[in-house]
Amino acid sequence: MKQFKKLAALVLAVIMVMSLAACGGGSGSNGSTAAPNTSGNATQAPQTQAPGGSEAQTQAPAGEGEYTVYFYAWTNPDNMKTLLAAFDEEYEGKYHMEYVKLDDAKTLTINTALASGSQIDVMTQASSMDLRVRADEGTYEGLKQFFDKEGWTYADICGEANEATQNINGDYYAIPYCQNINMIWFNKKLFDAANEPYPEAGWTWEDFRQTAIRMTSGEGENKVYGAMMDYAGGDGDNYWDFIARQKLGPFTYYNDDFTASAFDDPAFAESLSFFYQMAVVDKCIVPYDEYSAMQYSNDTQGMIGLYSDKYAMWMAPVYGCLYTKPSYGEVPADADIGMVDVPTVDGGKTVTTVYTSTASVPSSAPNKDASWEAIKYITILHPEYFAGPKAMHPGIDLKTDEQKEFFNSIIFSDKPGVDYDMCMANMAMDRTLVSKDNTVRQGQVEMNEIVKEHTTLVFTGDESVEEALKAMKEEADEAIANSSN
Amino acid sequence: MTEAKPKKMMKMSTRENLAGWAFISLNFIGYLAFKLIPLILAGVLSFSKWNMTTSLSTMTFVGFDNFVKMFKDSFFRTSFTNTILYAVVMVPVAIFLSLIFAVILDRYVFGKGLLRLAFYLPNISSMVAVSVIWMILFLPSYGPINMFLQSIGVANPPKWIYGKDTSLMSIMLVGIWQRLGYNIIIILAGLQGISQTLYEAAEIDGANGIQKFWYITIPSLRDTMFFLIMMSFISSFQVFTPVQVMTKGGPGKSSYVLVYYIYSKAFEGNELGYASAMAWALFFLVFIFSMGRMIFQRRKAE
């Protein structure tokens, strides 16, 4: 019996050690199946393991002499198949692309992959702050050199709005692969039932408010709100500062030289007061508590709330229409969703906000030319393969009406319940875009905490607009000063 | 002809020691890899500045800066105070209620098994799922709790997790509700270990129910209570899930607790050094408390 116990203990110990070794051996030990093919030799049969141990999506094995490009992103692997096939076909004999799906856990998986030295040729990032930090610390390759080689300028390819936010000390460390333009989605069925005309571009914020008041009806759990927007408290976007952004332009939270915050600007008081009035006084917009409890910060829930008649209008990015696809839930047969530009300050040309998702090349990427070809293919040459399936606009500046129509048709087609013609007509209109991307590092993390803290107190009625903005100004200025020291 | 050498035999005690080591090696390797080494690394990180979005080579030594920063950080101060408050209120209330329910379940009700199961179920339920349900229950406008309160004449029911002054208390309520089942099971086990002869002797001496409870039940449960208090405080200091799911520290910073703040700094702000320093502060909080309780218990035993 004693012998058996010893044997059992040793066997179990060996199994434990081997298991631990297997857990930790992802990055370097699986070279036989997934090692980067930097030597130009053919890689082995179909790869199923990415360098960092994550699961890789592959269409076909790398061919003879092909270099394997590893692309890390959060996209659903099903939406990557077309891109991978098209890239491999385009660069047959030269490059082969492997997709590595990152876990949806903030930045943990990509950070781990970066820290462990895994081969990453192109990667996406979770926020502009991550981009800025990595750019400052030399983790990313400057991309201006490649633009120069191509004879392109960043502003011409990606647009002025993106150039303004992506320019970091004269270089560019990321290319937007998609742009999320904010619009107003509305439930046409509710408007028809209320004999309310559909909103049209060029409407003002006061028009929006009055429409929301008229569209609000019922009580308790049967209450239908006129509108819904993301507050700063959840994981979602936030819209309380929309009017300020329209008036002040990019880097809204900062003064001109980034040495202080801009929360004392009257535009912030106007913006926060306006949405406070709608949420707390008029009660015509989904209140903060219901927004949190119903998980409306999740865009899928946002669209479900709209077509389920919980509210008549939804402030959201264009990609909101993606959530009418059957894979996100069954849309009622009579759903009828329209779309219109956001209201304006003065009834003039529409100014709306946009935020981007960007891709970069790590400075550790072994074959920079391959990385450039891949990022160029994904973001500039064929954005329809990556941004398109996600119902997002490309990061590049579409020059012609044909290009715009082609892309819009990808975004709005096959979206049950969405008024395709209305969306196409509205999207074709001219508008000015203000980027919400914040690539300024000074006090940004603290400022986001401060904004979240005080705006949630305003929308729960625990703090006045004046008190909140005064506190935000003082605390944000201190955070900026501390981070500059 | 040479004489065969006797086999070199390992000493019995050595062999037994080796076997013992082999047995504990499974647990020990896991402890090393997933507990001790990360703990030491966190200690190293707490004296450094490192943004997790960059490579390890960007890590810089900053001495005690992270610890100094903690005391200047209003979010940390609030989180620390809220954590202490949560533990100080939640633990005694949960244990007191558990004791009452356990005594009732032990002696005064039918269907003990079913009731024990009912009380224990929240403890084995997913805290994420439970928190989402509580979010609906707490809805000020048409949540079941406030609808009930309004139906019995409460004109202005609380805003629960959606109010600055009530958010932490609401999280405590959820914590107590979830903790009850576990506490009851442990106390029930303790109650069943008390000899009936003690109660019979007390009855002969003319003790009433309260006296028996106070002079027999409570002292006999001393060890059980000590264990429960220890475990409850430690788990209270580590409260995270209900805050993450229900309030995200808000409204304002009214429900920030230490572990949530450490998480947000580490994985949202990517400030690993600062987060590690706060994690060590939390460790010392738990450690000091545990040591204090153990010393107190030892002195009492002597």
Which residue segments constitute the domains of chain A, with CATH numbers given?
35-179+358-405 (3.40.190.10), 182-355+414-484 (3.40.190.10)
Place of tokens 């050595």: B14
CB atoms B53 and A139 under 8 Å: yes
Which of B18, B25, B140 lies nearest to residue A289, judging by beta carbons? B140
Shortest Cα–Cα distance, B115 to chain A (Å)? 30
CA-derived radius of gyration, chain A: 25
Shortest Cα–Cα distance, A297 to chain B (Å)? 12
Does residue B41 sit at the A interface (CB-CB below 8 Å)? no
Q: Which residue in chain B is spatially nearest to A234 when comparing CA positions?
A: B248
For residue B60, the surrounding DSSP H or E stretch is strand B60-61
Burial category of A485 from C-beta neighbours within 10 Å (exposed 0-12, middle 13-18, buried 19 and up): exposed
pLDDT score of B113: 82
Q: For A36-68, write each residue's pLDDT tens digit.
A: 333 333 333 333 344 444 455 555 566 667 899
Contacts of A452 in chain B (CB under 8 A): 250
Q: List the helix and strand counts (H, then E) for chain B.
A: 15, 2
Alpha helices per DSSP H over B3-109: 12-31, 37-45, 65-72, 74-103
Report whether B241 contacts B218 (CB < 8 A). no
pLDDT at A83 over 50: yes
Shortest Cα–Cα distance, B27 to chain A (Å)? 9
pLDDT at B129 over 60: yes
Which of A13, A108, A293 lies nearest to residue B22, judging by beta carbons? A13
Contacts of B26 in chain A (CB under 8 A): 12-13, 16
| Range of weakest confidence among A36-40, A85-89, A377-381, B61-65 | A36-40
Q: For residue A114, which of B16, B268, B52, B214 has the smallest C-alpha distance?
A: B52
Contacts of A9 in chain B (CB under 8 A): 19, 22-23, 25
pLDDT score of A72: 95
Ramachandran region, residue A347 (left: φ > 0; alpha: ψ -120 to 50; beta: rest):
left
Domain borders along chain B are: 65-301
pLDDT at B112 over 90: no
- pTM equals 0.83
Paired with A49 in beta bridges are A55
pLDDT score of A30: 33
pLDDT score of A24: 42
Top residue of B54, B82, B268 to mutate, by most chain A CBs within 10 Å, is B54
CA A284 from centroid of its chain's CA atoms: 28
CA A218 from centroid of its chain's CA atoms: 34
Q: For A263-311, write each residue's pLDDT tens digit.
A: 999 999 999 999 999 999 999 999 999 998 898 988 999 999 999 999 9
Q: For A320-355, write each residue's pLDDT tens digit.
A: 999 998 888 889 999 999 999 999 999 889 999 988
ipTM of the complex model: 0.80
CA separation for the pair A315, A313 (Å, rounded): 7
| Range of weakest confidence among A45-49, A192-196, B49-53 | A45-49
| Range of weakest confidence among A43-57, A307-321, A352-366, B180-194 | A43-57
Top residue of B12, B13, B53, B265 to mutate, by most chain A CBs within 10 Å, is B53
pLDDT at B97 over 80: yes
User: Which range scores top for mean pLDDT: A238-252, B51-65, B114-128, B204-218?
Assistant: A238-252
CB atoms A137 and B251 under 8 Å: no
Q: What is the mean pLDDT of residues A446-469?
A: 93
Report whether A451 contacts B248 (CB < 8 A). no
CB atoms B164 and A220 under 8 Å: no
CB atoms B29 and A20 under 8 Å: yes
pLDDT score of A37: 35
Shortest Cα–Cα distance, A261 to chain B (Å)? 19
pLDDT at A473 over 90: yes
Q: For B244-273, write each residue's pLDDT tens digit.
A: 999 999 898 999 999 999 999 988 888 889
List all residues 6 or more positions away from A313 whose beta carbon is below 8 Å from its beta carbon: A184, A185, A186, A187, A199, A208, A211, A212, A215, A226, A227, A228
Neighbours of B72 (CB within 10 A): 9
Across chain B, what does the average pLDDT equal? 88
Place of tokens 């607790």: B257
Percent of residues, chain A, with pLDDT higher than 90: 63
Top residue of A6, A11, A457, A460 to mutate, by most chain B CBs within 10 Å, is A460
Place of tokens 């059957």: A326
Shortest Cα–Cα distance, B52 to chain A (Å)? 6
How, if at all, do strands A351-360 and A432-435 pair?
parallel
Strands, E assignment, B135-272: none
Q: What is the mean pLDDT of residues B31-54?
A: 88
How, if at all, do strands A95-101 and A351-360 pair?
unpaired
CB atoms B75 and A449 under 8 Å: yes
Report whether A52 contacts A351 (CB < 8 A). no
CB atoms A460 and B164 under 8 Å: yes
Q: For A93-111, write each residue's pLDDT tens digit.
A: 999 999 999 876 567 788 8
The torsion defined by the Cα of A125, A129, A130 and A136, in degrees rounded to 10, comes to 130
pLDDT score of A42: 32
Q: What is the mean pLDDT of residues A19-24?
A: 45
Please say whether the dihedral angle defined by the alpha carbons of residues A437, A442, A445 and A449, taken in this order, is positive or negative.
negative
The third-level CATH classification (topology) of the domain covering B65-301 is MetI-like fold (1.10.3720)
How, if at all, do strands A311-317 and A175-187 pair?
antiparallel
pLDDT at B7 over 80: no
CB atoms B251 and A115 under 8 Å: no
Q: How many CA atoms does the CB half-sphere of A59 hold within 13 Å?
A: 21
- Count residue pairs from A and B with Cβ separation < 8 A: 115
pLDDT score of A33: 31
pLDDT score of B92: 94
